[in-house]
Amino acid sequence: MNGQYASLLIALPLISAFFVPLIKGFGKKAIKYYLVLITAIQTGIAGWVFSEVYSTGKPIIVIAGGWRPPVGINLYLGHFAALFVFIVALVSFFMAVFSVKAIDVEPIDKYAMLFLLLMLGATGMIATGDLFNLFVFMEITAISAYALTAYNKTGEAAEASLKYIVLGGIGSSFFLVGVALLYGSLGTLNLAHIAQLAGGVNATVAQVSLALIIFGLAVEAELFPLNAWAPDAYQAAPHPITAMFSAFVVKAGLYAMARILYVLSAASGWANIARLLVIMGTLTVIVGELSALRQRDVKRMIAYSSIAQVGLIAVALALGTADGVSAGVFHMVNHAIVKALLFLAVGYVGITLGGTAVENFEGLGKRMPLTAFSITVGAVAVMGIPLFNVFWSKMRIILAAMGAGYAWVVALVLAASVVEAVYYIRLIHTMWFTGEGEKLNENLVFGVIMLLLVVAIIVIGIYPEPLWDIVQKAGNDIVNVAGYIKNVPLMGVGA
């Protein structure tokens, strides 16, 4: 099959979003099943792209409109993008299934449209090979995320959404200033072309524009000074959307950050920016874990835990070594699985028992054993206990950080992991050893999804090597800038 068909990854959610108002005529149920169908097809396409890229070992380059880059826009589906586009589609599919039960209050047609646009935006951010196109996809993601955060129409949801909009607005303005500076000095927007010219860019321009771009993306990626919106949005948004935020919207921001960082790695003064990102990531880990410790709402607690993990990924991606980036990508995959499981299970408790306050979790082991079991596996995995997947990725990150000479980062991150263990063990204790209750009927479909994710966690935990091989290729895709430039068929203009 022709590689250009991979553009369906962008086209399918967009076209399907336009068809939602038509489907609305068939009733509320129809829209929900339509959403499940579209995300299933998207997963199929993404699976095809994944197997194609990994079997041939060559990236798929989609050239928009037949104009070769840097004149036209190209999509670059390398090892990394293929892996994450697949994860985005798969998580969206699970959450579309979850939405059938979890969303029954408000206008479902708007929900379905925004859901598809969120998936589209994240896919586009990961796949694009053009700086301004990245901005556009980032804004598609962000605006659908603002709207979905406010979807429940409570005061809290509106408050969370407003915080997100204000921070996101500042962030995107800064990003655009960074893009303007880079364009002004290089005269190109294509990432491969930028990478080619990066060596000659003025040191001040490179540092300022890179700092502004990272500042802008840090809002989406929830790094420390700019993540105040995240716990509120996670708490107030509908449950499936929370899982999507944590599992891939953040990852798209992190990936874009890493890609732009390494594209400009030839520029002078680059190491300063990378070090800044390591510091921001470490602070994110510490602040996230300490804030999670004193939460009374389980969803908010897991939101803070998610922020802390993101900080760890940012540290790994900014180390500047191939080991670090592969470890970071490994952690991104593991974290997407674990947090999708945790938010799914916690959200399921929320819709069944009415709320995610910690009181609702008392005696959950007796009332909803399967859900409680899934939360337990997820919690144990996040702590990084051996034989679970996160252990291997945390281990790799710590080894990579030691290798890059950041011993103080390792010490702080490990200290934060102890804090993490405290609040997760407290949650597990609350679920299994306190409270009384009668057994409730658990939904079979959610049970199957949760068990699938649990099996994924344990299988990766016992056999990490196959996935490690995959993520090493994906990490190499980011670090190996020369290879990236070579893969994009640049037309010889300007230069």
Q: Rule CB under 8 A: is residue 231 a binding residue for other proteins?
A: yes
Least separation in angstroms between residue 239's CB and other proteins is 17
Q: Is 177 in the site for other proteins (CB under 8 A)?
A: yes
| Buried-state track 166-194, b at ≥16 Cβ within 10 A, e below 16 | ebbeebbebbbbbbebbeebbebbbbbbb
- Asked if 322 interacts with other proteins (CB under 8 A), we say no
| Binder of other proteins out of 11, 30, 105, 166 (CB under 8 A) | 166
Read off the DSSP letter of residue 249. Answer: I
Q: Which residue has the tokens 């009181």?
A: 359
Which CB atom, from 41 or from 170, has the smaller least distance to other proteins?
170
> Which whole-number Å values give the CA distances from 58 to 76, 330, 472, 479, in the listed order?
11, 20, 15, 16
Q: Is 353 in the site for other proteins (CB under 8 A)?
A: no
Per the CB < 8 A criterion, the answer to whether 152 and 238 are in contact is yes
Output the smallest distance, CB 194 to other proteins, in A: 14
Binders of other proteins in range 181-210 (CB under 8 A): 183-184, 189
What are the backbone angles phi and psi of residue 385, rounded to the nearest 5°?
-85, 140
Which stretch, 229-237, 346-354, 375-383, 418-426, contacts other proteins (CB under 8 A)? 229-237
Compute the least distance from the CB of residue 70 to other proteins, in Å: 11
**Interface with other proteins includes 422 (CB under 8 A)?**
no
Choose which of 64, 158, 205, 458 interacts with other proteins (CB under 8 A). Answer: 158
Q: Is 19 in the site for other proteins (CB under 8 A)?
A: no
Sole residue written with tokens 């800044």: 276
Q: Tell whether residue 109 is a contact of other proteins (CB under 8 A).
A: no
CA 346, CA 306: separation in Å to the nearest integer?
14
Number of residues engaging other proteins in binding (CB under 8 A): 42
CA 249 to chain centre: 4
Residue 488's φ and ψ, nearest 5 degrees, are -85, 120
By CB under 8 A, tell whether 28 contacts other proteins: no
Indicate which single residue of 170, 279, 286, 322 sits in contact with other proteins (rule: CB under 8 A). Answer: 170
Q: Which span sits near other proteins by CB under 8 A: 158-166, 244-252, 316-324, 484-492?
A: 158-166
d(CA 311, CA 331): 11
C-alpha torsion sign, points 66, 70, 71, 73: positive
Selected binder of other proteins within 43, 128, 190, 291 (CB under 8 A)? 291
Q: Which of 147, 279, 283, 286 binds other proteins (CB under 8 A)?
A: 147
- CA–CA dist 60, 83 (Å, integer): 12
Q: What is the phi/psi pair of residue 128, to 5°?
A: -70, 155
Q: What residues between 235 and 264 interact with other proteins by CB under 8 A?
A: 235-236
Kindly state whether residue 123 participates in binding other proteins, applying the rule CB under 8 A.
no
Whole-number Å distance between alpha carbons of 286 and 356: 24
Contacts of 368 (CB under 8 A, 6+ apart): 348, 349, 352, 439, 440, 442
Strand partners, 297: 357
The least CB distance from residue 204 to other proteins, in Å, is: 14
180 binds other proteins (CB under 8 A): yes
Q: How many residues can be counted in the chain?
A: 495
Q: Does residue 305 bind other proteins (CB under 8 A)?
A: no
Binding site for other proteins (CB under 8 A): 132, 135-136, 139, 142-143, 146-147, 150, 153-156, 158-162, 165-166, 168-170, 172-173, 176-177, 179-180, 183-184, 189, 231-232, 235-236, 291, 294-297, 300
